[in-house]
Structure 1
Amino acid sequence: MWFMYALSWIAFIIIAICLTISVAAGMYYVAELIEEYTTIAKRFIHFILITVTVLNILLLVLETQFTWTLCSIGVLSNIMYFFILGDFPFIGFLSPAFLFSMVLLIIHHYFAFSFFNNYYYPFPEILAYFTIFVWIVPFCFVLSLSANDYVLPQYADTQRDRYNDDTIINSGGDVVTNYFKKRAKKVGLLAFMRSVQESILPTRNKKF
């Protein structure tokens, strides 16, 4: 009996490793797609935002136990995500919209955990709420971080004054040259996955 029990744990570990590798491979593939088709990715995220906002309203109407506070935080978070999406694929980590959305994400988690602690729901329904209403949009933005590394620099009218104070430009530097220098310091999710891939599975040069 103990032998089959030990084999079940070994099989569980193997399945967990395979699932982890599959999820990582899927994330890598989706990140490459977003990097190559940024316009389509923006439309897709916009569609998800509208869908989640509508589902928040339907959740408040159809599920009487859900409070106005929880659903309002979800809608307000989506509004902040719309502001972030306006500059997609550029994501300003110090912009007010991004910082406020991160604060709302933490508050949303707090109210969601408090709600499900007070009201009983099956685990699949709890997981469905967190996946659709809390995690899916931030996860899309995380996958899109690497898309910013391959977009050519450009000036918007609202940002021109800020770049006039840039020491690189004022010292006679070239914007495009500076851009390609900074590309070597990519910190996106796709760049991290590529570094892990190169360290674990290094490419081999073919010898003829």
Structure 2
Amino acid sequence: MFLLLLSYMGIVVGFFLLVLAIALGLYYLSELVEEHTEPTKRLLTRVIYGIMVMFVLLWLFDSFPFFLLLFLIFSYFVYLQNLAKFPYVQLTSPIFLASCVLVIMNHFLWFSHFQNPHVPLFQERLKNGYHAPHVPLFAEVVSFFGICVWLVPFALFVSLSSHDHLLPHHDDTSGSRQRNTGLAKVVVEAIRTRVYNLSRKLGYELDSSYGSLG
């Protein structure tokens, strides 16, 4: 009985550490993007076009559904529009909102596709020269989702900066200018600030540097 409770405790601790690692990774990537804006834009553009080519290859050599891939290519074309004013984006702009909707739609469409694979009719299986369709392995499905469905939206989330969160920055040589702050960085800082405020309400005083990053 106690071992079962211990296992639950281990799951909670492991999940917390995983979330913490992801948050720190997002923050670090946002810092890199802020320092290398132009190379990041070029890299994202090449990655988007490269994955589009990958969709064509999946259709030609693996018989992936044409219309699902066509919808995915359209989604990537919309993602590409976010780079027009890179790294800045309006959170209420139609392009950004459409990108968010398309990410969710693609996730569920492809999840449904892999969850319900096509089963040939019995008459078709009796034909000479019949070859059973390839059933994707778990590693293949995960790789497809990671590279073709999630990679670019995740990269955009880390790279783009909201106009609503531009921070004033003063430079002695060039006067007042604005510094971009990544969406991921804004989210991480907001969560850390809430945790810091909650800990104070509970009577536990965290180090003052905890509430502010960078």
Indicate the percent of aligned positions where both proteins have the same amino acid.
30
Instruction: Please state how far the C-alpha of 1:37 moved relative to its aligned partner.
Output: 1.7
Q: Which residue of 2 aligns with 1:171?
A: none
Question: What are the equivalent positions in structure 2 for 1:172-191 lying under 5 Å apart?
Answer: 188-191=183-186
Q: Give secondary structure in 2 for the equivalent of 1:22.
A: helix
Structure 2: which 5+ runs fail to align?
118-134, 170-174, 197-205, 210-214
Q: Which residue of 2 aligns with 1:197?
A: 192
In structure 1, C-alpha distance between the alignment counterparts of 2:79 and 2:110, rounded to whole Å: 19
Q: Which residue of 2 aligns with 1:112?
A: 110
In 2 relative to 1, CA 7–100 (structure 1 residues): closer, same or farther, beyond 3 Å?
closer
In structure 1, C-alpha distance between the alignment counterparts of 2:2 and 2:16, rounded to whole Å: 21
Normalization by structure 2: what TM-score?
0.66
* Contact 2:162 2:182 survives alignment (8 Å): no
In structure 2, C-alpha distance between the alignment counterparts of 1:151 and 1:88, rounded to whole Å: 18
Normalization by structure 1: what TM-score?
0.68
In structure 1, C-alpha distance between the alignment counterparts of 2:139 and 2:49, rounded to whole Å: 23
Q: Give secondary structure in 1 for the equivalent of 2:89.
A: coil
Q: Which residue of 1 aligns with 2:81?
A: 83
In 2 relative to 1, CA 21–99 (structure 1 residues): closer, same or farther, beyond 3 Å?
closer
Instruction: Please state how far the C-alpha of 1:8 moved relative to its aligned partner.
Output: 3.0
Calculate the aligned-residue CA RMSD, in Å: 3.1
Q: Are 1:128 and 2:138 an aligned pair?
A: no
In structure 1, C-alpha distance between the alignment counterparts of 2:4 and 2:104, rounded to whole Å: 40
In structure 2, C-alpha distance between the alignment counterparts of 1:195 and 1:100, rounded to whole Å: 24
Structure 1: which 5+ runs fail to align?
153-175
Instruction: Please state how far the C-alpha of 1:135 moved relative to its aligned partner.
Output: 1.4
Structure with a larger share of its residues in helix: 1
Structure with a larger share of its residues in strand: 2
Amino acid corresponding to residue 151 of structure 2 in structure 1: I
Equivalenced residues, count = 174
* Contact 2:27 2:185 survives alignment (8 Å): yes
Amino acid corresponding to residue 158 of structure 2 in structure 1: L
In 2 relative to 1, CA 33–14 (structure 1 residues): closer, same or farther, beyond 3 Å?
same
Could you list the runs of 4 or more consecutive aligned residues of structure 1 that deviate by over 4 angstroms after TM superposition? none
In structure 2, C-alpha distance between the alignment counterparts of 1:90 and 1:41, rounded to whole Å: 13
